[in-house]
């Protein structure tokens, strides 16, 4: 069983190996609120206003840059949709790797520490 604390302790590594279908529910259980959407994992974060939304983006920017694993972000006034996938897996076709869940756990941690009510 994988826990969020396990993922928080890890660092993203270059990988060409996607997680298998049987592993995905285990990793999703360790990252509350994230869901599989095709070959990506996705979560919507909600905020009081645009300022909080931008503060969240700036906070996660530091972490995702350090992990060298960058998500797709969809930003509106009071929400940010974060989508992770790994372009180097499945012979360059993309998919979901452990790196996606490492970063998802870290993004959850930032939100819980600074923005959850």
pLDDT value for 23: 96
pLDDT value for 117: 65
Number of domains the chain is built from? 1
pLDDT value for 10: 96
List, for residues 95-106, the tens digit of each pLDDT value. 999 999 999 999
81 and 43 Cβ atoms separated by less than 8 Å: yes
Buried b / exposed e across 56-66, counting CB within 10 Å, b at 16+?
Answer: beebbeeebee
Domain that holds residue 64: 4-114
Tell me the CATH number at 55.
3.30.1360.20
pLDDT value for 44: 98
Q: Which residues of the chain have pLDDT under 70?
A: 117
34 and 28 Cβ atoms separated by less than 8 Å: yes
């Amino acid at each position: 069983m994988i826990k969020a604390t396990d993922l928080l302790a890890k660092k993203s590594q270059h990988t060409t190996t996607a997680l298998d279908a049987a592993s995905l529910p285990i990793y999703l259980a360790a990252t509350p609120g994230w869901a599989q959407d095709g070959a990506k994992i996705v979560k919507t974060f909600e905020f009081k206003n645009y300022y909080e939304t931008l503060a969240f983006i700036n906070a996660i920017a530091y972490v995702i840059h350090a992990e060298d694993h960058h998500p797709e972000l969809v930003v509106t006034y009071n929400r940010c949709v974060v989508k992770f996938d790994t372009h180097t897996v499945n012979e360059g076709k993309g998919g979901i790797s452990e790196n996606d869940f490492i970063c998802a756990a870290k993004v959850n941690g930032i939100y819980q520490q600074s923005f959850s009510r």
